[in-house]
Structure 1
Amino acid sequence: MPKGYIKEIRSRVGHMPLILNTAAGILLNDRQQVLLNLRTDTHNWSLPGGYLEFGETYSQACVREYKEDSGVEVEIIRPLKIFDEGSFSYPNGDQVQTITQLFLVRQIGGQLLTDETDETVRLDYFDFDQLPPLMNQQTEDMLTYAANNR
């Protein structure tokens, strides 16, 4: 199935609540700060990551989404935890419960995007104890877990 699986589903079901699979990564700099992206859709911060395309694994989605969201090429160091609690309503009305596999990742190439894209306004590293306004409770839960399990 070509890229765009979620858009195809949404074209058929509208804004109805869906359970969707996502992958996200924790990338730390040399000061042990975590990379976050300021999202264009919600105007708050989240971990680079996103929805799996049909036929894709969690790790493949994490690597692909990381490159799309941040410009950085990563490899998986190890899975950290699956997060499956909480729902979220996007500004456009789409409702989701996400099941997210969180990974610890390391940079192997690329560089941080410097221009705004259709998904990312900007990128920055943050201390775990000085985080900006986050996208949702699940993002907060993932960062809390990662702060204690690096």
Structure 2
Amino acid sequence: MAIPDFVVALRAKVGHVPLPLSGVIAVVLDDQDRVLLVRRSDSGEWALTTGCLEPGEQPAAGAVREVWEEAGVEVVVERLLSVEALDLSVAPNGDQVYWLTVGVRCRLLRGEAAASDDESIEVGWFDPAMVPPLPPHQQRCLSLALADADPWIAGLRDDATGSARAPVQLH
């Protein structure tokens, strides 16, 4: 996977310790409401288009860039889907990351989807009912995109009941 230059520079100073990084998850739909998936080169698994935001990059711009880099199609961001801090992830090289992810729904503008960088080995359009298994946070983004639901913000509502949580008290 291509590691952004700013992360390479940080890793040269801090090694493999956990870094907080921000990323995007793009749910791309075409005019038939099929969803674009990429087959990741590192795991061989199908996934939504995801990526690391560059310093100062807005999530919508990052989503458009990532979809272009990984699938070679132009999209427009339609709306926010989710905001969520993920559990610690560890890359095969030992790098540790706490991702803060912003999920967005995108609509295809133009282009023929094709694997266009070293991060994806295959791309395809899937009927939402036929999507291969996705990580839980990606499945949640897909479900929110298809349901036209309000954005989901982790910790704002009780995940099991949907009821509002008590306000957090700081002492």
Task: Answer yes or no: same fold by TM over 0.5.
Answer: yes
Q: CA deviation at 1:133?
A: 4.1
CA distance 1:111–1:8, change in 2 (3 Å): farther
**Could you give the per-residue CA deviations for residues 59-78 of structure 1, whole angstroms, max 9, x where no partner exists?**
11111111001101111111
CA distance 1:94–1:79, change in 2 (3 Å): same
Q: Distance in 1 between matches of 2:128 and 2:43?
A: 21
Name the amino acid aligned to 1:127. Answer: D
SS at match of 2:93: coil
Mapping 1:30-41, distance limit 5 Å: 30-41=31-42
SS at match of 1:11: helix
CA distance 1:117–1:85, change in 2 (3 Å): closer
SS at match of 2:86: coil
Q: CA deviation at 1:33?
A: 2.2
Which of 1 and 2 has greater Rg? Answer: 2
Q: Which residue of 2 aligns with 1:127?
A: 127
Question: Percent same amino acid among aligned pairs?
Answer: 34
State the superposition RMSD in angstroms.
Answer: 2.1
CA distance 1:133–1:10, change in 2 (3 Å): farther
Q: Distance in 1 between matches of 2:146 and 2:88?
A: 23
TM-score between the two structures when normalised by the length of structure 1? 0.82
CA distance 1:13–1:140, change in 2 (3 Å): farther
Q: Which residue of 1 aligns with 2:166?
A: none
SS at match of 1:56: coil
Q: CA deviation at 1:46?
A: 1.7
Residue 140 (1) aligns with residue 151 (2): no
Name the amino acid aligned to 1:59. Answer: A
Instruction: Please say which of residues 9-18 and 58-67 is displaced more in the overlay.
Output: 9-18
Q: Is the 8 A contact 2:27 2:141 kept in 1?
A: no
Q: Is the 8 A contact 2:72 2:116 kept in 1?
A: no
Q: Is the 8 A contact 1:49 1:61 kept in 2?
A: no
Q: Which residue of 2 aligns with 1:96?
A: 97
Aligned residues: 146
TM-score between the two structures when normalised by the length of structure 2? 0.74
Structure 1 gaps, min length 5: none
Q: Distance in 1 between matches of 2:136 and 2:12?
A: 27
**Could you give the per-residue CA deviations for residues 10-46 of structure 1, whole angstroms, max 9, x where no partner exists?**
2322222222101121111344221111111222122
Name the amino acid aligned to 1:26. Answer: V
Runs of 4+ in structure 1 off by over 6 angstroms are none
